[in-house]
């Protein structure tokens, strides 16, 4: 007889249901890995460290369910799929900041704890979406440019 | 006296305005259990935090569900309960649809089980596992989470049908795991009958000739397989039989609803009566040829019972659970074949005399009663959750055993034991051989010492240098070789009872009482300066979790009762652990409570000056009483919590001195509670303002260190605040230290610069800044450097 850890049992049970679901021509709402994380979550806070080991698609599933209380809707999933190839830290920052800033989350905010990602501006007033910020490397490059080139760069970037 | 204490979470029932399905079962059973004298039932409903419950007043609950007055919550200020408050000898019984509750059982059950609470779950069916396609994705996912927790933690499962028990066995076989203990208790069905008066509204029902139609009552949803009935309409029409669907359109049936609406036979060969009144349903039942129940799967099949209660024959899917409920009274068909259904109809139509005889037989049907179901469930709860434990009643404790290398400490502790533990007559002292003569000479009290030289236990082996490794090795050897009673009290040379102690503190109701002080999985120790004790806790945490054992911290620095036979059983189960430097208390009690749950109870500890100062670590579980002192000489020095009090026993002053110690320590703990309230309030305010928690983050961005900290920190004066640092592997691997310090607004140093090396951290323990704050309020700056990154945080220190 096997003994399971909580996570391993969650995955095993989920996979049994997934096989039945597939046989019926349907899809499961999330991956088994995300499900294992979700199954033992505390009701009053979302612990980032529990999700830390997930790959990008699984992280997306878990973050939606834990922070918004629902599965990723199809349009959102399609939009996020384009970013699955991003580095984990960037992808996660994007997902979390988008969720935390959403009106849906703000209506029933569950605190996210233990997240080492840069979700908060230094002034502490709001969150940033890393993908929307100019990459730091470009900023450094820009700072090294001669002034006329800087002006041209600004024009090209539509900032002037 | 009730034999079993039962806690039932009815959060879903209390939030549901109508009681159908599972909520109806929960209501019928619970109302009866409240009057069962063998049970002491506590009804719960989750608070908005979802981490605690309110206790439902039983009279209000009963009045609401029987007389429909008031509210199930009552009017009084609610009494609240957290999972840790449920006693070890109690049963937590889930009969409501717990998978729909935000308080996930994957979170709750481990908390209950680690303290030995018996978990019993009612399993209505396993259809979301076996046929998940019939459920909304969220419901299915929540159910899978729930059943995972049930399989992992439930001590007992109550099923309402043999078919469900069989499905559970099949699932466990597939998972290659042990099937949990299971009892089958069929549901009752003697629901209070609705008033029989009234007639259907004019036009509510189509004209339907008596006994010439099949009736399908209930919500139209995929699992109920109404498709088969619709497909059978033409064949039935050929026989002069119509079909009536009575109910409402459910989840994922929009297309089917459209198809019905546009069907050419709609209103001719079949009819859809949306949301019929009670009178219409009654009329439909009375005149139907039969109720058709082509469902793919069911947990119980109450619609069959309801049809019988109306005297109507039933054509049901030929599945095990429906055969269990319908027995010989129902007729069955293959739910995948229209011709099987029409053949069943043909059999009813073939012989009118036989058909009328069947109706007469069904009219005599008497359903199983809820009283009966409730009694059987109560018996199942009693069988697995008796208040009386399994330790034989004649078990007596007269021996105490101590491990010591410090004669002075033991000689100063013995008078306390002598005076306050009168049931102890003998003490086994395990100590270096050279210490024995002085101990013999120094003690002439009531308790008779016996000596066991540690050299004898070690058999020539050397004592390890690590304090914790040494202690665990000696305790294990003591269990194996020393002249110990089977049941004795184990203590240390500086654990002092400060009030009279009764044996019931250690052994009550047939259960050994184990006293815990912390959850080992959350023990952080002293950051950057781990003691032998801390390292022993980390090792013990890993040992317990890797072996699937609970992980409470029982090293509560107070005497505890030990059953030597169970200790030896643990040593046998895990050969070689005696050299692993585990915590001798936590390893034993967690093992005992997991393997012999009916012999143990877990309770919050009873020690003052553990921790030595309330600021040493955050008290996770406040002591339930203050009975023992963990003696620290420093506590009696100037500035110590017991400054000015005598540190040795005196019969004349013991009562007043010990009372003063308890008073002072209680005040210290209250201070910590107040300090924690400041921190918690600050975190809540910050979260509300910024939609995130005030966390200190360190990370590496393109190889460069980055610090992100909240701009403002509120802290309580006189407290020691531990600020967790959120880091990742890259940060730890960078080898860069974190340097932090604090100045007040005049530039005066409040906290000298401290260096924290992140790679020193023990696996699983996050690094933290430790801010020891002065007792006065101030405003200042906390400055932190991490490599080239630096950040400041304004600090407002509040005087309480």
Give the pLDDT confidence of B543-571 residue by residue, as tens digits.
999 998 999 999 999 999 999 999 999 99
Cβ-Cβ contacts under 8 Å between A and B: the total is: 158
Residue B191 has pLDDT above 90, yes or no: no
Residue B631 has pLDDT above 70, yes or no: yes
Q: Is residue A45 part of a domain?
A: yes
CB within 8 Å: B175 and A2: yes
Same-domain check for residues B316 and B412: no
User: Rounded to the nearest 5°, which phi and psi values hold at B576?
Assistant: 90, 0
Give the angle B401-B403-B406 at the CA atoms, nearest 5°. 130
Q: Is residue A28 part of a domain?
A: yes
In this prediction, residues B278-282 reach a mean pLDDT of 88
Q: Is residue B375 part of a domain?
A: no
Residue B388 has pLDDT above 70, yes or no: yes
In this prediction, residues B95-122 reach a mean pLDDT of 95
Residues in A touching B151 (Cβ below 8 Å): 9, 13
Share of chain B above pLDDT 90, in %: 71
Same-domain check for residues A114 and A64: yes
> pLDDT band at residue A141, thresholds of 50, 70 and 90?
low
How many domains, in total, are found in chain B?
A: 4
Same-domain check for residues B135 and B265: no
Same-domain check for residues B541 and B441: yes
In this prediction, residues B121-125 reach a mean pLDDT of 97
By C-alpha distance, which of B533, B516, B473, B465 is closest to B762? B533
Residues 6+ apart with CB under 8 A from B93: B6, B7, B8, B120, B121, B122, B381
CA gap B171, B164 in Å, rounded: 10
In this prediction, residues B145-168 reach a mean pLDDT of 96
Residue A137 has pLDDT above 50, yes or no: no
The parent domain of residue A147 ranges over 134-160
**Domain containing residue B171: CATH number:** 3.40.50
Which stretch of A91-105, B303-317, B321-335 has the lowest confidence by average pLDDT?
A91-105
Q: Is residue B572 part of a domain?
A: yes
CA gap B496, B418 in Å, rounded: 10
The whole-number pLDDT of residue B154 equals 96
How many domains, in total, are found in chain A?
A: 2
Same-domain check for residues B128 and B42: yes
In this prediction, residues B463-490 reach a mean pLDDT of 94
CA gap B121, B12 in Å, rounded: 15
Query: Which three-class secondary structure state does DSSP give residue A74?
Result: helix
Strand partners for B791: B784
Residues in B touching A40 (Cβ below 8 Å): 104, 106-107, 110
CB within 8 Å: A42 and B107: yes
Burial class (CB in 10 A: 0-12, 13-18, 19+), B98: buried
Q: Say which residue, B488 or A125, is predicted with more confidence.
A: B488
Which stretch of B409-418, B654-663, B727-736 has the lowest confidence by average pLDDT?
B727-736
Same-domain check for residues A117 and A147: no
How far apart are the CA of B344 and the nearest CA of chain A, in angstroms? 28
Residue A117 has pLDDT above 80, yes or no: no
CB within 8 Å: A2 and B176: yes
User: Rounded to the nearest 5°, which phi and psi values hold at A36?
Assistant: -60, -35
In this prediction, residues B330-349 reach a mean pLDDT of 97
Q: What is the pLDDT of residues B711-739, one digit of tens each?
A: 888 888 888 888 888 887 788 888 888 99
Strand partners for B158: B122, B183
H helix or E strand, kind and range, residue B627? none
Q: Is residue B535 part of a domain?
A: yes
CA gap B162, B266 in Å, rounded: 39
Same-domain check for residues B171 and B314: no
Kind of pairing, strands B314-317 and B290-293? parallel
The whole-number pLDDT of residue A134 equals 37
Q: Is residue B590 part of a domain?
A: yes
> pLDDT band at residue B96, thresholds of 50, 70 and 90?
very high
Residue B156 has pLDDT above 60, yes or no: yes
CA gap B632, B668 in Å, rounded: 16
Provide the H-helix boundaries in B246-369. 254-262, 278-287, 302-309, 320-326, 338-350, 352-363
Q: Is residue A29 part of a domain?
A: yes
The whole-number pLDDT of residue A124 equals 36
The whole-number pLDDT of residue A129 equals 30
Q: Say which residue, A83 or A106, is predicted with more confidence.
A: A83
**Sheet architecture: strand order including B704-708:** B704-708, B696-701, B720-726, B768-772
Q: Say which residue, B635 or B278, is predicted with more confidence.
A: B635
Provide the H-helix boundaries in B73-136. 105-113, 127-130
**Which one-letter DSSP state was computed for residue B65?**
I
Same-domain check for residues A88 and A113: yes
**Which one-letter DSSP state was computed for residue B505?**
G
By the CB < 8 Å criterion, does A6 face chain B?
Answer: yes
H helix or E strand, kind and range, residue B770? strand B768-772
CB within 8 Å: A124 and B690: yes
The whole-number pLDDT of residue A130 equals 30
Task: Report CA-CA distances (Å) from B715 to A113, B621, B679, B772, B781.
Answer: 19, 22, 6, 10, 12
Q: Is residue A1 part of a domain?
A: no
CA B668 and chain centroid, separation: 30
Residue B369 has pLDDT above 60, yes or no: yes
The whole-number pLDDT of residue B232 equals 97
Same-domain check for residues B310 and B453: no
Which of B305, B340, B366 finishes a domain? B366
Same-domain check for residues A140 and A93: no
Helix, strand, coil % over all residues of chain A, rounded to 5: 55, 5, 40
CB B429 within 8 A of CB B402: yes
Q: Say which residue, B218 or B515, is predicted with more confidence.
A: B515
Same-domain check for residues A102 and A72: yes
The whole-number pLDDT of residue B720 equals 82
Residues in B touching A24 (Cβ below 8 Å): 131-133
> pLDDT band at residue A123, thresholds of 50, 70 and 90?
very low
The parent domain of residue B765 ranges over 694-798
CA gap B538, B522 in Å, rounded: 10
Q: Is residue B667 part of a domain?
A: no
Same-domain check for residues A27 and A70: yes
Helices and strands (DSSP H and E) totals, chain A? 9, 2
Q: Is residue A141 part of a domain?
A: yes
The whole-number pLDDT of residue B599 equals 95
Same-domain check for residues B232 and B283: yes
CB atoms within 10 A of CB B597: 22
CA gap B110, B94 in Å, rounded: 15
CB B664 within 8 A of CB B642: yes
Q: Is residue B678 part of a domain?
A: no
Residue A140 has pLDDT above 70, yes or no: no
Residue B672 has pLDDT above 70, yes or no: yes
CA gap B572, B352 in Å, rounded: 73
Task: Report CA-CA distances (Å) from B82 to B79, B85, B358, B386, B514.
Answer: 11, 5, 54, 22, 19
Q: Is residue A40 part of a domain?
A: yes
CB atoms within 10 A of CB B798: 16
In this prediction, residues A101-118 reach a mean pLDDT of 82
> Residue B298: left if φ>0, alpha if ψ -120 to 50, beta else—which one?
beta
> pLDDT band at residue B195, thresholds of 50, 70 and 90?
low
Same-domain check for residues A90 and A149: no
CB B584 within 8 A of CB B471: yes
Same-domain check for residues A104 and A140: no
Which stretch of B317-326, B362-371, B619-628, B732-741 has the lowest confidence by average pLDDT?
B732-741
Q: Over chain A, what is the mean pLDDT?
A: 80
Write out residues 96-125 of A within 8 Å (CB-CB) of B: 100-101, 105-106, 109, 111-120, 122-125
CB within 8 Å: A16 and B175: yes
Same-domain check for residues A11 and A51: yes
The whole-number pLDDT of residue A121 equals 43
Which of B140, B169, B184 finishes a domain? B184
CB B121 within 8 A of CB B150: yes
| Closest alpha carbon within chain B to A39 | B145
Residue A126 has pLDDT above 70, yes or no: no
Residues in A touching B142 (Cβ below 8 Å): none
Q: Over chain B, what is the mean pLDDT?
A: 92
User: Rounded to the nearest 5°, which phi and psi values hold at B419?
Assistant: -80, -35
The whole-number pLDDT of residue B761 equals 59
Same-domain check for residues B236 and B287: yes
CA gap A50, A41 in Å, rounded: 8
Provide the H-helix boundaries in B691-785. 729-734
Same-domain check for residues A74 and A99: yes
Residues in B touching A71 (Cβ below 8 Å): 137-138, 141
Which stretch of A5-14, B56-65, B286-295, B725-734 has the lowest confidence by average pLDDT?
B725-734
Same-domain check for residues B361 and B446: no
By C-alpha distance, which of B594, B584, B490, B470 is closest to B537? B584
Which stretch of B3-12, B42-51, B612-621 has the lowest confidence by average pLDDT?
B612-621
Q: Is residue B436 part of a domain?
A: yes
The whole-number pLDDT of residue A133 equals 34
User: Rounded to the nearest 5°, which phi and psi values hold at B607?
Assistant: -115, 135
Task: Report CA-CA distances (Å) from B123 to B44, B163, B183, B331, B380.
Answer: 19, 11, 10, 27, 14
How far apart are the CA of A62 and the nearest CA of chain B, in angstroms? 12
Which of B639, B662, B685 finishes a domain? B662
Residue B314 has pLDDT above 70, yes or no: yes
Same-domain check for residues A116 and A52: yes
How far apart are the CA of A13 and the nearest CA of chain B, in angstroms? 7
CA B692 and chain centroid, separation: 28
Same-domain check for residues B423 and B469: yes
Q: What is the pLDDT of residues B567-614, one digit of tens each?
A: 999 999 999 999 999 999 999 999 999 999 999 999 999 999 999 887
Residue B517 has pLDDT above 90, yes or no: yes
CB within 8 Å: A114 and B695: yes
CA A120 and chain centroid, separation: 15
Q: Is residue B461 part of a domain?
A: yes
Query: Side-chain half-sphere of A160: how many Cα atoms within 13 Å?
Result: 7
Q: Where are the beta strands (DSSP E) in B666-748?
A: 696-701, 704-708, 712-716, 720-726, 737-744
CA gap B73, B76 in Å, rounded: 8
Same-domain check for residues A142 and A122: no
Share of chain B above pLDDT 70, in %: 97
């Amino acid at each position: 007889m096997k003994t399971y850890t909580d996570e391993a049992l969650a995955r095993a049970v989920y996979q049994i249901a997934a096989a039945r679901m597939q046989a019926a021509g349907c899809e499961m709402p999330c991956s088994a890995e995300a499900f294992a994380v979700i199954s033992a979550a505390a009701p009053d806070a979302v612990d980032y460290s529990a999700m830390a080991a997930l790959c990008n698609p699984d992280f997306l599933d878990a973050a939606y369910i834990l922070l918004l209380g629902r599965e990723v809707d199809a349009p959102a999933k399609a939009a996020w799929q384009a970013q699955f190839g991003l580095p984990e830290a960037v992808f996660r920052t994007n997902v979390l900041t988008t969720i935390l800033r959403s009106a849906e989350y703000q209506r029933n905010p569950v605190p996210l704890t233990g997240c080492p990602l840069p979700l908060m501006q230094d002034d502490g007033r709001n969150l940033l979406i890393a993908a929307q910020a100019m990459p730091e490397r470009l900023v450094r490059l820009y700072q090294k440019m001669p002034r006329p080139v800087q002006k041209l760069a600004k024009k090209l970037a539509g900032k002037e | 006296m009730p034999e079993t204490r039962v806690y039932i979470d009815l959060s879903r029932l209390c939030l549901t305005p109508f009681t159908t399905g599972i909520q109806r079962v929960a209501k019928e059973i619970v109302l009866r259990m409240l009057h069962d004298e063998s049970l002491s039932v506590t009804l719960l409903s989750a608070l908005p935090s979802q981490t605690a419950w309110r206790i439902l007043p039983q009279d209000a609950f009963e009045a609401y569900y029987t007389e429909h007055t008031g509210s199930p919550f009552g009017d009084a200020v609610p009494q609240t309960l957290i999972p840790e408050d449920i006693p070890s000898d109690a049963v937590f019984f889930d009969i409501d649809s717990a998978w729909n509750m935000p308080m996930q059982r994957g979170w709750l059950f481990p908390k209950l089980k680690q303290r030995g609470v018996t978990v019993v779950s009612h399993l209505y069916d396993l259809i979301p596992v076996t046929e998940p396609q019939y459920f909304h994705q969220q419901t299915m996912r929540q159910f899978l989470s729930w059943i995972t927790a049930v399989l992992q933690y439930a001590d007992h499962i109550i099923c309402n049908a043999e078919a469900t028990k069989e499905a559970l066995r099949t699932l466990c076989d597939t998972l290659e795991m042990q099937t949990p203990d299971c009892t089958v208790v069929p549901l009752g069905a003697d629901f209070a009958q609705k008033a029989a008066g009234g007639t259907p509204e004019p036009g509510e029902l189509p004209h339907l000739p008596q006994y010439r139609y099949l009736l399908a009552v209930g919500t139209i949803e995929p699992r109920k397989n109404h498709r088969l009935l619709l497909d059978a309409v033409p064949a039935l029409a050929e026989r002069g039989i119509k079909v009536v669907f009575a109910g409402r359109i459910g989840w994922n049936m929009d297309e089917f609803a459209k198809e019905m609406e546009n069907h050419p036979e709609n209103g001719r060969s079949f009819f859809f009566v949306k949301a019929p009144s009670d009178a219409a349903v009654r009329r439909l039942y009375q005149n139907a040829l039969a109720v058709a129940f082509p469902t793919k799967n069911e947990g119980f099949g109450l619609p069959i019972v309801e049809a019988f209660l109306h005297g109507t024959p039933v054509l049901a899917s030929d599945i095990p659970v429906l055969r269990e409920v319908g027995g010989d009274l129902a007729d069955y068909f293959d739910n995948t074949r229209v011709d099987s259904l029409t053949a069943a109809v043909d059999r009813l139509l073939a012989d009118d005399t036989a058909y009328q005889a069947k109706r007469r037989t069904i009219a005599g049907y008497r359903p199983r009663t809820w009283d009966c179901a409730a009694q059987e469930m109560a018996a199942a709860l009693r069988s697995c959750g008796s208040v009386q434990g399994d330790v034989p009643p004649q078990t007596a404790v007269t021996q105490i055993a101590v491990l010591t290398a410090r004669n002075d400490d033991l000689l100063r502790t013995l008078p306390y034991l002598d005076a306050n533990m009168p049931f102890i007559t003998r003490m086994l002292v395990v100590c270096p051989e050279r210490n024995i003569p002085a101990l013999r000479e120094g003690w002439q009290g009531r308790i008779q010492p016996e000596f066991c030289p540690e050299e004898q236990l070690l058999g020539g082996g050397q004592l390890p240098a690590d304090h914790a490794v040494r202690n665990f090795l000696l305790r294990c050897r003591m269990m194996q070789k020393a002249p110990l009673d089977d049941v004795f009290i184990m203590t240390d040379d500086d654990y002092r009872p400060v009030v009279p102690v009764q044996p019931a503190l250690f052994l009550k109701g047939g259960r050994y009482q184990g006293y815990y002080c912390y959850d080992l999985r959350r023990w952080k120790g002293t950051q950057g300066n781990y003691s032998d004790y801390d390292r022993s806790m980390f090792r013990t945490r890993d040992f317990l979790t890797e072996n699937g054992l609970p992980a409470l911290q029982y090293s509560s620095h107070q005497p505890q009762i030990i059953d030597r036979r169970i200790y030896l059983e643990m040593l046998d189960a895990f050969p070689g652990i005696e050299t692993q430097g585990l915590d001798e208390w936590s390893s034993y009690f967690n093992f005992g409570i997991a393997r012999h749950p009916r012999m143990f109870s877990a309770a919050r500890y009873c020690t003052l000056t553990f921790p030595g100062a309330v600021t040493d670590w955050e008290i996770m579980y406040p002591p339930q009483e203050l009975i023992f002192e963990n003696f620290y000489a420093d506590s009696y020095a100037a500035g110590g919590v017991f400054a000015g009090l005598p540190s040795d026993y005196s019969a004349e002053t013991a009562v007043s001195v010990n009372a003063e110690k308890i008073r002072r320590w209680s005040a210290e703990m209250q201070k910590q509670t107040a300090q924690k309230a400041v921190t918690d309030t600050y975190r809540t305010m910050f979260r509300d303002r910024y939609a995130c928690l005030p966390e200190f983050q360190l990370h590496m961005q393109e190889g460069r260190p980055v610090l992100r900290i909240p701009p403002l920190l509120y802290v309580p004066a006189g407290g020691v605040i531990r600020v967790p640092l959120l880091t990742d592997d890259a940060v730890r691997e960078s080898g860069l230290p974190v340097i932090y310090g604090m100045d007040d607004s005049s530039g005066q140093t409040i906290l000298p610069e401290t260096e924290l090396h992140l790679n020193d951290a023990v696996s699983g323990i996050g690094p933290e800044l430790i801010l020891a704050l002065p007792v006065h309020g101030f405003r200042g700056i906390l400055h932190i450097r991490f490599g080239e990154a630096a950040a400041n945080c304004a600090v407002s220190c509040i005087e309480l």
